[in-house]
A = this chain, B = another copy of it.
């Protein structure tokens, strides 16, 4: 039973929203899903039926302006994020926007502008890893000087599993994810999170960017078996430096066939943090062994899929609902301005291949 002061949540997009976000909302007290929009109205209607949502739209802008929605979750393809997020803010709604925030830093900065024009509305990016217990604990340990001065970070993802738990095998059928113009690609999908994590951990902005993206599988068949060109990246690797002097190396591959999944190592002057997969965190002091200090995840097996993204999304949504209700954030959510900082790094990685030798 929902109360009249529930936060009424509308979803733009019927893919990730239906698979992950709508199920997760059941775990967020004070939030009530009320609407869904999709350019493919049938998809929206099916999701509405499944989750009992009273309002269905075929245009995200209509949802953004609907009087039956307080918080708009923008889960459509990235090329539409700016339009929907700005419409929602202008309609006085709170916004949670999926990543990658936008197509480029220009769009991202337009979204920042809209958010700062409505300072009483929340405008957050769904960088839910800031609410993942181990990554948040890492932040606290770094801040409390547990590993001394932050020096370097390595983050990698090999192989790649989609956020919904489905494997992104290298023979995945063509969809928008493989289309750069719609905002596809691994760099935006996952790199954006990891770049944000480097900022979150270091408390510092990225000042230098070196690296590149690549597309190894240049054609894929779509659902009708038609061959389509792949324009989005399926691989990205970069070296970043922050204003604080720390260096981060991020490597992402959707074409890797094996590997440990997510892996992260953080080196400070006095110790090491090691993130293994989605659930383990180890701490080692200089000269000592690594010890398991994994934070418990109170939502273990409560979400579908049962992965860190879904569980962390629940926590981020709980925080958002609380803050909308007047509470103070317990964590450090990523604002639209954070998203813009990340987007500039994405743009710079895409823009160059470094020094040419021949």
Chain A residues 205-243 with CB under 8 Å of chain B are 205-212, 214, 216, 235, 237-239, 241, 243
**Cα-based distance from A271 to B170 in the complex (angstroms):** 12
Evaluate contact between A152 and B253: CB separation under 8 angstroms.
yes
**Cα-based distance from A251 to B265 in the complex (angstroms):** 12
Evaluate contact between B152 and A237: CB separation under 8 angstroms.
yes
How many copies of the shown chain assemble into the complex? Answer: 4
A187 contacts across to B, CB distance below 8 A: none
A203 contacts across to B, CB distance below 8 A: none
Evaluate contact between B284 and A271: CB separation under 8 angstroms.
no
Q: Contact check: which of B114, B247, B251, B274 meets A113 at CB < 8 Å?
A: B114
Evaluate contact between A340 and B106: CB separation under 8 angstroms.
yes
* Most central of A239, A284, A352 by chain B CB within 10 Å: A239
**Cα-based distance from A293 to B37 in the complex (angstroms):** 52
Chain A residues 235-277 with CB under 8 Å of chain B are 235, 237-239, 241, 243, 245, 247, 249, 251, 253, 255-259, 265, 267, 269, 271-272, 274
Q: List 25 A-B contacts (CB under 8 A).
A: A106-B109, A110-B113, A113-B114, A151-B216, A151-B235, A151-B253, A154-B251, A205-B357, A205-B358, A207-B356, A207-B358, A208-B356, A210-B212, A210-B354, A211-B354, A255-B269, A256-B265, A258-B272, A258-B274, A259-B265, A259-B272, A348-B355, A348-B357, A351-B356, A355-B355
A residues apposed to B, CB below 8 Å: 105-106, 109-110, 112-114, 116, 151-152, 154, 156, 158, 170, 205-212, 214, 216, 235, 237-239, 241, 243, 245, 247, 249, 251, 253, 255-259, 265, 267, 269, 271-272, 274, 284-287, 290, 340, 344-345, 348, 351-358
